[in-house]
Structure 1
């Protein structure tokens, strides 16, 4: 006898009450199509021309229809589950659509002048109201400034994280942790003003790429400290104890056991910190001072960078400068994307191998 049937006293069979009606698998996809059509119809009827507004109406229709349809067919419990799932998907799309729109707009506008000439020439002697010129000097400035910032921030941040995890105890460690948390929330303009007052006004040094690099290093340090600290905490204590039990000094245990174990996560954190400061514009505007020509020496004279170049070209307010600004923005996005891909590749390469 089937387990899904019940026999009463008269010998007749009835379907089991444990069976629950379910919507077909294609129902959510059909509901999406219907919601999009209704959203477009409602938006058109209300005189709205923006597809984004239509999408908001479609999302609202999808959420309500998912709950009502689930309640009618599957019951209240499954309807609430479908409601939560619909909200998650709608919020995901609301987060992704602006990002995709930004990337599409930048690619569409930036590709008009982005070519080998743009990447290989500066703005030296170019009339800003006419097409031509490039961002080579800004690319060189960004690479040098971000590289110097990494050289300053990474060793300090790495050693600070090692102190907090391996040695830090008492009030000093708590104070360092507190100030690292405070530095994480410091606006970039504050870092630029600090270097401006200390390096240029008090000490009397001139505007340069190195001044901008110091401000970027201040912004990088707390990110490096936090990411490295979390990666070091993930290293099992058994590895430390096994090394110390063999008579290996603590400093050598950290150098040969702890750091190699966490190197993948540490490198990922460093690359993300570099990507974070590569697009900072406020400190660069204050400290680098801008230049139209190529300056390969970051320690002397004004220098440009991609964020400053974008700001400068957009401020000029003509069609040619707008095109150059969009092209530079596309180059900057590509630079940050490459850094993130490198970070993910290193994390995957250095991740612990899973075995059976």
Structure 2
């Protein structure tokens, strides 16, 4: 009997060692690939960083220029898209977690949200093209913002539901015991307790859409020039609007060295922005003990 127990323990120890080794190997491969990507981005793009990148618009072939119009367009479309996504996603996630998540309708909403999470972004672009571009006779930044919002909303919804489900029922019971309505309890207690998690969901959604190209090709298209009244956001977004991912896509396929250099710089800026947002999201999501 003792021999059998010892053999089982030895076998489990060997299997555990093999499993841990494979996990470490997979992690090392992933980190190595990430390192190669970051190295190539820094090598090709860092040398092109200058003040002109942020003060000049995309140039004609062979001319000096920057990415000002693309950066402004990306910031506005991503920002407006996230406002829409946060409004819808937080409310939908709250409904799933606090009110109707166990109902048949709640299960259907959760299933459709999961489908949208894995939907190809190009399909979302085609949908918004048929909805907002073709009927109105032209591409626009507003259509691009809606497409990005459709991509970010499922992430915010799922994150909100998961975070709210982690909040202890004692908080809800305490709010109800003090005479608060369900709405007041959720708004003043549950949302505040889950504030860091909700913010993390928003940051992850922003990171998800900040590098999207396909939906913007079908909705916002591109615009090489920034109007003089670019600070007039409604007017700027009512026409084709430039974005960093689309500029990267177009310029990377060009034989012009200036455009290729700008494509690498744009890729570096997007990569650093996404990396920074993900790191910030992870930091905010850590528990209060600091682990």
Residue 332 of structure 1 deviates from its aligned partner by: 0.8
Say if 2:160 and 2:197, in contact at 8 Å, map to a contact too: yes
Query: Per the alignment, do residues 248 and 80 of structure 1 end up closer, same or farther by CA in structure 2, a change over 3 Å counting?
Result: closer
Aligned residues: 274
Which structure carries more relative contact order (alpha carbon 8 Å, separation 6+)?
2
Structure 1 residues 227-238: aligned runs within 5 Å: 227-238=159-170
Q: Whole-Å Cα distance in 1 between the matches of residues 14 and 288 of structure 2?
A: 41
Query: Per the alignment, do residues 158 and 325 of structure 1 end up closer, same or farther by CA in structure 2, a change over 3 Å counting?
Result: same
Say if 1:122 and 1:136, in contact at 8 Å, map to a contact too: yes
Q: Are residue 315 (structure 1) and residue 247 (structure 2) matched?
A: no
Tell me how large the CA RMSD over aligned residues is: 1.8
Say if 2:57 and 2:226, in contact at 8 Å, map to a contact too: yes
Q: Are residue 301 (structure 1) and residue 245 (structure 2) matched?
A: no
Query: Per the alignment, do residues 78 and 338 of structure 1 end up closer, same or farther by CA in structure 2, a change over 3 Å counting?
Result: closer
Query: Per the alignment, do residues 89 and 195 of structure 1 end up closer, same or farther by CA in structure 2, a change over 3 Å counting?
Result: same
Q: Whole-Å Cα distance in 2 between the matches of residues 101 and 142 of structure 1?
A: 26
Three-state SS of the structure 2 residue aligned to 1:290 is coil
Three-state SS of the structure 2 residue aligned to 1:231 is helix
Residue 284 of structure 1 deviates from its aligned partner by: 0.8
Three-state SS of the structure 2 residue aligned to 1:316 is coil
Q: Whole-Å Cα distance in 2 between the matches of residues 269 and 106 of structure 1?
A: 27
Q: Whole-Å Cα distance in 2 between the matches of residues 181 and 83 of structure 1?
A: 34
Residue 207 of structure 1 deviates from its aligned partner by: 1.0
- Find the counterpart in structure 1 of residue 115 from structure 2: 182
TM-score by length of 2: 0.88
- Find the counterpart in structure 2 of residue 219 from structure 1: 151
- Find the counterpart in structure 2 of residue 71 from structure 1: none
- Find the counterpart in structure 1 of residue 6 from structure 2: none
Residue 153 of structure 1 deviates from its aligned partner by: 1.0
- Find the counterpart in structure 1 of residue 97 from structure 2: 165
Three-state SS of the structure 2 residue aligned to 1:111 is helix
Q: Whole-Å Cα distance in 2 between the matches of residues 245 and 81 of structure 1?
A: 49
Structure 1 residues 228-267: aligned runs within 5 Å: 228-267=160-199
- Find the counterpart in structure 1 of residue 27 from structure 2: 92
Residue 226 of structure 1 deviates from its aligned partner by: 0.2
1:144 to 76, 80, 85: 76
Query: Per the alignment, do residues 92 and 199 of structure 1 end up closer, same or farther by CA in structure 2, a change over 3 Å counting?
Result: same
1:206 to 130, 138, 149: 138
Q: Whole-Å Cα distance in 1 between the matches of residues 96 and 75 of structure 2?
A: 31
Three-state SS of the structure 2 residue aligned to 1:325 is helix
Residue 78 of structure 1 deviates from its aligned partner by: 5.1
Q: Deviations over 1:260-279 (max 9, x none)?
A: 01111111011011100100
Residue 84 of structure 1 deviates from its aligned partner by: 3.0
- Find the counterpart in structure 2 of residue 193 from structure 1: 126
Q: Whole-Å Cα distance in 2 between the matches of residues 116 and 109 of structure 1?
A: 17
Q: Whole-Å Cα distance in 2 between the matches of residues 113 and 299 of structure 1?
A: 28
Say if 1:206 and 1:300, in contact at 8 Å, map to a contact too: no
Q: Whole-Å Cα distance in 1 between the matches of residues 180 and 126 of structure 2?
A: 46
Residue 117 of structure 1 deviates from its aligned partner by: 1.4
Unaligned ranges ≥5, structure 2: 1-9
Residue 113 of structure 1 deviates from its aligned partner by: 1.3
Q: Whole-Å Cα distance in 2 between the matches of residues 292 and 229 of structure 1?
A: 41
Residue 246 of structure 1 deviates from its aligned partner by: 1.8
Q: Whole-Å Cα distance in 2 between the matches of residues 282 and 201 of structure 1?
A: 17
